[in-house]
Amino acid sequence: MELIRGISGIRGIVNDSLTDSIIKSHVRAFSILQKEGVILLARDSRSHGEAFIISIAEELKKCGREVINYDIIPTPTAQFLVDKKHLAGGIVVTASHNPKEWNGLKFIDADSCFLNGDKNNKLFEIADSELEENHNIGSIQSIENGYLAHITHTRSLSFIDTEAIEDRKFSIVVDAVNGAASKALPAMIEALGCTVHHLYCDMNGKFLRGAEPLPYNLENLGEAVRNLEADAGFATDPDGDRLAVVDETGNPLGEEYTLTICADGYFQSTSSATPIVTNLSTTMALDKLAERFGREVIRSAVGEINVVNKMKEVGAQLGGEGNGGVILSESHYGRDSLVGAAMFLNRMSQDNLLVSKIFQSMPKYIMIKDKIEMRSIDLQIAFDKIKSKYSDADTDETDGLKLSWDNSWVHIRKSNTEHIIRIYAEAPTRDEADEIVKKTKTDLYI
């Protein structure tokens, strides 16, 4: 398996495609690219992350950098800290939702966003060149519990009705997959007056369920919610940027509905008429919801930095992705499970509806997320054939190919993080969405 490099940084299998020398060359390149100043380091809870972060800190020290090592904190907390402390940038050692044998680096720019495509490509060019060893002397500082400032800021967001949430005394089960949010997410929810029950919050890097907070990985969370008679269950991924929700019956809402329900609460709490930005693969339920409030949804290519760039371009305050990623400019420009949790609790406090009833009030669509191996498919040739075959559809080639009809769509694109082609389709029923995916697969192989 070769190293994956793209807008999500680098990631690979430890001691195979991802080695200490590869990491050091990319770290040196990042230091060369960034302006003078302090570099933040953070990681998720994978066991090999500890050795990597120590090695990275020493490498940056040799580059003459001041380094602040926050060790295990959520990726969004790292972005928040780069922003609020006006740092030169940050590096997070994480492979996000990939299995535990993977690891990688996410590179945070001085504006707290991940490096854009052009700057990433420049970093990779530098990393691949012959770099001389540095022998400067910087410094390394270690910080514990660096997530506390993030919690304080999130609790104080302008539209969050903390009193209303505290008055409800919600009972929430948190499943942090023993990842980077194992301390921060429960503490965030407790700071809003909720009772928290912990599931997989040991921060030991042992992912005792699938790393992604997808419905089929949340059976134990659903069982815990039912047994504890909790109001909801919140789940995140290993680096803590995505949030999925389980209702009071233990039923997973699906990560597509995190942003939709958070947006519903946001629309009710604010008078802002700015658009909401999401990517091409996110549910059309968001569009239908926005119509109720007279708001506009603008779509970007898939990838957090693409959503963020579009948010900045159109002046959006709220954005995100259908994988459970909520982005709020008032906090920082990045997907954030802590912000998502606060916004979801805010929506829960706005009326006396159970979470299942809030979900039922949302526009309903079924999404099928599938994938195929890259093999020898020539995507452009395939896309041209598909566009010709479905001439009745609206087409968007911003990121792969998306075909849209009045009440359904399909999006075909190369993954940013794996050597696969993703096929997402959505329709009012599962059978309809499944049929679209089957037809698309057939069209790709012809």
Which tokens belong to 189? 């929810």
Q: For residues 74 and 69, what is the distance between their CA atoms, to the nearest angstrom?
A: 13
Asked whether the predicted pLDDT for residue 374 surpasses 80, the reply is: no
Last residue of a domain, one of 332, 360, 388: 360
Give domain status of residue 156, yes or no. Answer: no
Is the same domain home to 412 and 438?
A: yes
Tens digit of pLDDT for each residue in 388-399? 999 999 999 999
CATH number at residue 55: 3.40.120.10
pTM exceeds cut of 0.85: yes
Is the same domain home to 184 and 249?
A: yes
Range of the domain at 109: 4-146
* Number of structural domains found in the chain: 3
Is the same domain home to 288 and 415?
A: no
Annotate 97-153 with DSSP letters as a single string.
Answer: TS-TTEEEEEEE-TTSSBP-HHHHHHHHHHHHS-PPPP----EEEE-SSTTHHHHHH
Is the same domain home to 440 and 384?
A: yes
Asked whether the predicted pLDDT for residue 375 surpasses 80, the reply is: no
Which tokens belong to 191? 């700071």
Give domain status of residue 170, yes or no. Answer: yes
Res. 380 pLDDT band, cuts 50 70 90 = confident
Contact partners, residue 3, CB within 8 Å, separation at least 6: 10, 11, 12, 17, 18, 22
Tokens 């009710």 correspond to 268
Between the alpha carbon of residue 89 and those of residues 81, 110, 114, 146, 244, the distances in Å are 10, 5, 9, 16, 28
Last residue of a domain, one of 146, 171, 196: 146
Task: Find the mean pLDDT for residues 43-71.
Answer: 97
Amino acid identity for residue 313 in this structure: E
Is the same domain home to 54 and 165?
A: no
Annotate 313-373 with DSSP letters as a single string.
Answer: HHT-SEEEETTTEEEETTTEEEE-HHHHHHHHHHHHTTSS--HHHHHHTS---EEEEEEEE
Structure confidence at residue 446 (pLDDT): 62
Which tokens belong to 220? 């134990």
Is the same domain home to 341 and 388?
A: no
Q: For residues 348 and 253, what is the distance between their CA atoms, to the nearest angstrom?
A: 14
Neighbours of 108 (CB within 10 A): 29
Task: Find the mean pLDDT for residues 21-25.
Answer: 96
Helix H or strand E segment including 387? helix 379-389
Which residues pair with residue 131 across a beta bridge?
A: none
Neighbours of 302 (CB within 10 A): 26
* Residue burial 252-265, b: 16+ Cβ < 10 Å; e: rest: bbbbbbbbbbbbbb
Structure confidence at residue 2 (pLDDT): 84
Asked whether the predicted pLDDT for residue 284 surpasses 90, the reply is: yes
Tens digit of pLDDT for each residue in 358-369? 999 999 999 999
Q: For residues 186 and 367, what is the distance between their CA atoms, to the nearest angstrom?
A: 30
Neighbours of 397 (CB within 10 A): 12
Give domain status of residue 84, yes or no. Answer: yes
Give domain status of residue 153, yes or no. Answer: no
Looking at per-residue pLDDT, the higher value among 133 and 435 belongs to 435
Give domain status of residue 152, yes or no. Answer: no
Which tokens belong to 29? 């390149």
Give domain status of residue 154, yes or no. Answer: no
Is the same domain home to 356 and 385?
A: no
Among 44-48, 268-272, 371-375, 421-425, whose mean pLDDT is lowest? 371-375
CATH number at residue 437: 3.30.310.50
| Beta carbons of 143 and 69 less than 8 angstroms apart | yes
Is the same domain home to 205 and 294?
A: yes
Tens digit of pLDDT for each residue in 290-322? 999 999 999 999 989 999 999 999 999 999 999
Structure confidence at residue 123 (pLDDT): 97
Give domain status of residue 177, yes or no. Answer: yes
Is the same domain home to 61 and 204?
A: no
Tens digit of pLDDT for each residue in 149-179? 999 999 999 999 999 999 999 999 999 999 9
Is the same domain home to 203 and 97?
A: no
Tens digit of pLDDT for each residue in 73-124? 999 999 999 999 999 999 999 999 888 999 999 999 999 999 998 999 999 9
Q: For residues 403 and 433, what is the distance between their CA atoms, to the nearest angstrom?
A: 13
Asked whether the predicted pLDDT for residue 1 surpasses 80, the reply is: no
Q: For residues 338 and 156, what is the distance between their CA atoms, to the nearest angstrom?
A: 12
Is the same domain home to 287 and 434?
A: no
Which tokens belong to 419? 């050597």
- Report the percentage of the chain scoring pLDDT > 70: 100
Give domain status of residue 155, yes or no. Answer: no
Last residue of a domain, one of 293, 328, 360: 360
Is the same domain home to 197 and 316?
A: yes
Residue 162 CA, distance from chain mean position:
25
Burial class (CB in 10 A: 0-12, 13-18, 19+), 112: buried
Asked whether the predicted pLDDT for residue 373 surpasses 90, the reply is: no
